[in-house]
A and B are shown apart, each in its own frame.
Chain A
Amino acid sequence: MSAGPTQPRPANQHVRRNPPIAGEEEAIEKARNGDARAFETLYAMHKRRVYSLCLRMLGNVAEAEDLTQEAFLQLYRKIGTFRGDSAFSTWLHRLAVNVVLMHLRRKGLPQVSLEETLEPSQDDGPRKDIGARDLTLSGSIDRVTLERAIENLPPGYRLVFVLHDVEGYEHNEIAEMLDCSIGNSKSQLHKARMKLRDLLRTGQRKEQIA
């Protein structure tokens, strides 16, 4: 995996999710020329999105802050290589994703051993017996509940789910980032959604009992 962000495809959700920010272009240009205030402006513009991405991928505040810091330091060093082929935020988020993935690999945690990560136990797989039909999720899940459920996903599932469903990456991009097959990415996303459904339905049942 390369350390620097590649230029993702311009179409799809990234465009929708990364609209131009007023003043960003000027700040980029000044930051490229070493203007510290402009770099601070870019940090202020993007810190929340980058940190939220790190936090969702890692599920740990301290690590998320460390990697947010590292992502922006990499931005400081690499901003001169930004060619403008994609939205700046897309480029920066790809850089942040790479920082997180490199961190996970360095730690040697199970979530970076993709064979393990992407082939979890049967317990985590889709359930064929769907169970009671009286509970449906539609319209009943608030944002906080969903965020909490995502936090409780197994790390490998969480990575693919956050990258695809939250961040809007395509399976071919995820496969490249995680060094796995496209089919594996699709399969893991499905399992992640199934696991989330289980978690959310379990939460609903507990609420009903309480």
Chain B
Amino acid sequence: MSVLRAMDKTMTCSEFQDSLPELFEAQADLSAQEHLKTCDNCAALVRDLEYIASQAKLLLPMHDPSPAVWDNIQQAIRHNPGDPHASGSAPAGRK
């Protein structure tokens, strides 16, 4: 379904929702969609999906690995201290 089809006033909720991935990807101005002017449910859906996407972009790294991770990395490097650019050395296993 084309994005333009989403402008159709006669679009059903199912048709509108099918077009949503394309509309989001096109970064279209969804508030201009005719269907949303008359459908509170789909309008709420769009608001929620936009909200989820916006909140996800704000998620920041919050977890540090345990100190054992660095210990294992050091150990693996010590056991294989050759050329750091060499490939094929196995990573250290978990302790």
Contacts and interface: CB of A to CB of B under 8 A. Distances in A.
Contacts, number: 144
A126 B65 contact: no
A65 B84 contact: no
Query: By DSSP majority rule, is chain B's interface helix, strand, loop, or mixed?
Result: helix
A137 B51 contact: yes
Contacts of A169: none
Given A34-B84, A36-B77, A68-B65, 12 more contacts: A31-B84, A47-B65, A47-B69, A51-B61, A69-B65, A77-B89, A79-B85, A128-B13, A131-B41, A139-B51, A150-B56, A193-B53
Interface of A: 13, 31-32, 34, 36, 39-40, 43, 47-49, 51-53, 55, 62, 64-66, 68-70, 72-74, 76-81, 126, 128, 130-131, 133, 136-139, 141, 143, 146-147, 150, 161, 165-166, 168, 171, 186-187, 189-190, 193-194, 196-197, 200-201
20 contacts: A36-B77, A48-B63, A51-B64, A51-B65, A52-B62, A64-B65, A65-B66, A76-B73, A77-B84, A80-B85, A131-B41, A138-B48, A138-B51, A139-B51, A146-B52, A166-B59, A168-B57, A186-B22, A187-B21, A190-B49
